[in-house]
DNA sequence: TCCCAGGCGAAAG
DNA sequence: CTTTCGCATGGG
């Protein structure tokens, strides 16, 4: 299956920027399990070629997951407020936020605390292999991310075996909350950003940064601006107003500086600071 | 071997 | 209220 994607669109930047953790590049194709479906895809110019399974040719899934309805040109124009982010926009133009599954996103970012992008992917893979279902797509073998019920049924020791360490109890508690309907992640999509965030903050292991990541990467809160150690450094070093700012002040500055799409600004800045410090 | 990693919660100031 | 420290584990 092949669809034309709206420019700008860059699949590599979108899948390798560190917002999602289970994509693997094999022979020029990106493969992953997304929302219970296997996806294998590649970009050829302005086309996105893909396979999905077990539902074949699932265009709706692709359009939703890659946020193809976002007018990225208009969004980038709106956040292009200064030289620093302008440089990031020029270099990473086509990077799109994803609309991930909220449950997988929540667990992934609970795993992200004091970890690395590589290890998070390993953790989520181990969790999927232990608790998820087998999935085959065009000879690519993987596992779906487990349902909250599957994780809630498991024990904390099994999660520990996935090498998530001190995060295992946080994950298990979240699984029980979602499986029991005490926490309805999908309902947060319809609530105002601040209300949704306060609900997530009630759970152990979910702080300001992780809540913002879940809201931004899976629940359509483009006004969220997750502040991690990299973003903190980038903002303090490049914005006079943030020189001595704490995380709360950095979020407040970003919100008034970049406007309603500050979450997109965060992802472009994250890419720039990561690339420049890798050198 | 040592240090760091898309933080967080609890203790201490 | 803000700052400091311990936390499990794997990778560089």
Residue A279 pLDDT exceeds 80: no
Residue A234 lies in a domain: yes
- CATH number assigned to the domain comprising residue A69: 3.30.310.260
**CA–C1' A166–C9 (A):** 9
Domain endpoint, select from A166, A193, A218: A218
Query: Long-range CB contacts (< 8 A, 24+ apart) of A31-35?
Result: A31/A137, A31/A140, A31/A142, A32/A142, A33/A128, A33/A132, A33/A135, A33/A142, A33/A143, A33/A144, A33/A145, A34/A61, A34/A65, A34/A100, A34/A101, A35/A61, A35/A65, A35/A101
- pLDDT at residue A2, as a whole number: 97
Residue A241 pLDDT exceeds 90: yes
Domain endpoint, select from A47, A67, A92: A92
Task: Please report which confidence band the pLDDT of residue A240 belongs to, taking 50, 70 and 90 as the band edges.
Answer: very high
Residue A224 lies in a domain: no
Task: Please report which confidence band the pLDDT of residue A37 belongs to, taking 50, 70 and 90 as the band edges.
Answer: very high
Residue A248 lies in a domain: yes
- pLDDT at residue A278, as a whole number: 78
Residues A135 and A213 in one domain: yes
Residue A199 lies in a domain: yes
- pLDDT at residue A201, as a whole number: 98
Which residue has the closest alpha carbon to C6 C1'?
A166
pLDDT digits (tens, 9 = 90+) for A145-169: 999 999 999 999 999 999 999 999 9
Task: Please give the average per-residue pLDDT across A230-246, as a whole number.
Answer: 97
CB within 7 A of strand B (chain A, 172-231): 203-211, 213, 226, 228-231
Residues A188 and A233 in one domain: no
Domain endpoint, select from A73, A92, A111: A92
- CATH number assigned to the domain comprising residue A206: 1.10.340.30
pLDDT digits (tens, 9 = 90+) for A71-125: 999 999 999 999 999 999 999 999 999 999 999 999 999 999 999 999 999 999 9
* Across all strands, nucleotide nearest A160 (CA–C1'): C8
* Across all strands, nucleotide nearest A115 (CA–C1'): B5
Residue A222 pLDDT exceeds 90: yes
Residues A196 and A239 in one domain: no
Residue A106 lies in a domain: yes
* Across all strands, nucleotide nearest A269 (CA–C1'): B6
Residue A20 pLDDT exceeds 80: yes
Residues A26 and A70 in one domain: yes
Boundaries of domain holding A17: 2-92
How many domains would you assign to chain A? 3
Residue A223 lies in a domain: no
Residues A74 and A145 in one domain: no
Residues A114 and A197 in one domain: yes
Residues A51 and A154 in one domain: no
Residue A174 pLDDT exceeds 90: yes
Residues A14 and A88 in one domain: yes
Looking at every residue in chain A, the average pLDDT score rounds to 98
């Amino acid at each position: 299956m092949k669809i034309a994607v709206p420019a700008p669109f860059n699949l590599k930047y979108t899948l390798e920027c560190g917002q999602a953790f289970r994509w693997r590049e094999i022979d020029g194709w990106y493969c992953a399990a997304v929302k219970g479906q296997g996806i294998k895809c590649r970009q050829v110019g302005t086309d996105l070629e893909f396979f999905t399974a077990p539902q074949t040719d699932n265009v709706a899934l692709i359009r939703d997951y890659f946020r193809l309805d976002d007018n990225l040109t208009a969004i980038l124009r709106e956040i292009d407020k200064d030289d620093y982010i302008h440089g990031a926009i020029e270099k990473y133009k086509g990077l799109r936020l994803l609309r991930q599954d909220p449950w997988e996103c929540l667990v992934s970012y609970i795993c992200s605390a004091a970890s690395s992008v590589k290890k998070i992917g390993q953790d989520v893979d181990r969790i999927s292999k232990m608790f998820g279902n087998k999935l085959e797509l065009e000879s690519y073998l993987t596992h779906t991310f487990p349902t909250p019920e599957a994780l809630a049924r498991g024990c904390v020791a099994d999660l520990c075996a996935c090498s998530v360490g001190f995060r295992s109890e946080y994950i298990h508690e979240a699984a029980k909350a979602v499986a029991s309907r005490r926490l309805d992640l999908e309902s947060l999509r319809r609530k105002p950003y601040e209300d949704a965030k306060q609900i997530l903050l009630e759970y152990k292991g979910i702080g300001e940064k992780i809540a913002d990541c879940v809201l931004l990467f899976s629940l359509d809160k483009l006004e969220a601006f997750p502040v991690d150690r990299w973003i903190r450094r980038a903002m303090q070093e490049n914005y006079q107003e943030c020189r001595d700012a704490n995380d709360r002040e950095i979020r407040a500055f970003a919100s008034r500086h970049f406007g309603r799409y500050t979450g997109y600004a965060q992802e472009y800045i994250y890419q720039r600071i990561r690339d420049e410090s890798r050198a």
